[in-house]
């Protein structure tokens, strides 16, 4: 009796995995974020108060399989687990990056260490679904600004 339930459970799980992974295709998502302020703070700035330093595109490519995730490249360089460069851009509402894409922001922080303000102008997610997994490529364009004195 126990063996029969085990076989039934195994068959049900196998069927679930097969039906779930049969939706193969390419998907793409893009986000544009606007810079917002906290509701209790009013800071009036204009473009005359900010100096544009430049923009940088950061990227990450990774694979998701049933039970594990593998990072292939960060900023178009092969990912090495022994060498970790992490940067974190945090904000209230205007900076929304995934945990994995946040690993690639060290490039912006290294290239523009004098920047005071960052704005994400474009974010793209490309997903290629495969059998029992997917390949994901995430890109973000980040603009750097400095306050003028």
Q: Is 21 strand, coil or helix?
A: coil
Q: Which of 112, 105, 124, 139 is nearest to 52 (CA)?
A: 112
pLDDT surpasses 80 at 115? yes
Task: Please give the full DSSP string across 108-135, using - where no structure is assigned.
Answer: HHHH-TT--EEEEEEEEEEEEEETTEEE
Q: What is the pLDDT of residue 81?
A: 77
For 49, what's the count of Cα atoms within 13 Å in the CB-facing half-sphere? 6
Is the torsion defined by CA of 29, 133, 20, 98 positive or negative? Answer: negative
Query: The pTM is what?
Result: 0.67
pLDDT surpasses 90 at 118? no
- Strands 117-130 and 133-147, sheet pairing: antiparallel
| Degrees, nearest 5: CA angle 21-23-27 | 120
Q: Provide mean pLDDT across the span 40-45.
A: 70
Confidence band, pLDDT 50/70/90 cuts, at residue 28: very low
Q: What is the pLDDT of residue 61?
A: 95
Q: What is the pLDDT of residue 31?
A: 45
The tokens of 115 are what? Answer: 């920047």
Q: What is the pLDDT of residue 58?
A: 93
Q: How far apart are the first and last CA of the chain?
A: 79
CB atoms closer than 10 angstroms to residue 142: 26
Q: Provide mean pLDDT across the span 103-118.
A: 86
pLDDT in tens, 62-108: 999 888 889 999 999 998 877 777 777 766 555 677 888 888 888 88
- Strands 50-65 and 117-130, sheet pairing: unpaired
């Amino acid at each position: 009796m126990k063996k029969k339930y085990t076989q039934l459970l195994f068959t049900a799980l196998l069927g679930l995995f097969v039906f779930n992974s049969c939706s193969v295709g390419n998907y793409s998502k893009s986000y544009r974020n606007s810079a917002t302020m906290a509701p209790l703070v009013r800071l009036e700035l204009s473009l005359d108060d900010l100096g544009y330093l430049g923009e940088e595109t950061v990227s990450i490519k990774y694979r998701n399989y049933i039970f594990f995730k593998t990072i292939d490249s960060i900023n178009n360089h092969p990912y090495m687990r022994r060498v970790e460069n992490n940067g974190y851009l945090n904000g209230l509402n205007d900076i929304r990056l995934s945990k994995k894409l946040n690993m690639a922001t060290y490039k912006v922080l290294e290239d523009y260490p004098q920047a005071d303000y960052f704005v994400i102008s474009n974010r793209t997610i490309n997903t290629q679904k495969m059998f029992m997994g997917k390949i994901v490529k995430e890109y973000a364009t980040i603009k750097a600004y400095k306050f003028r004195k």
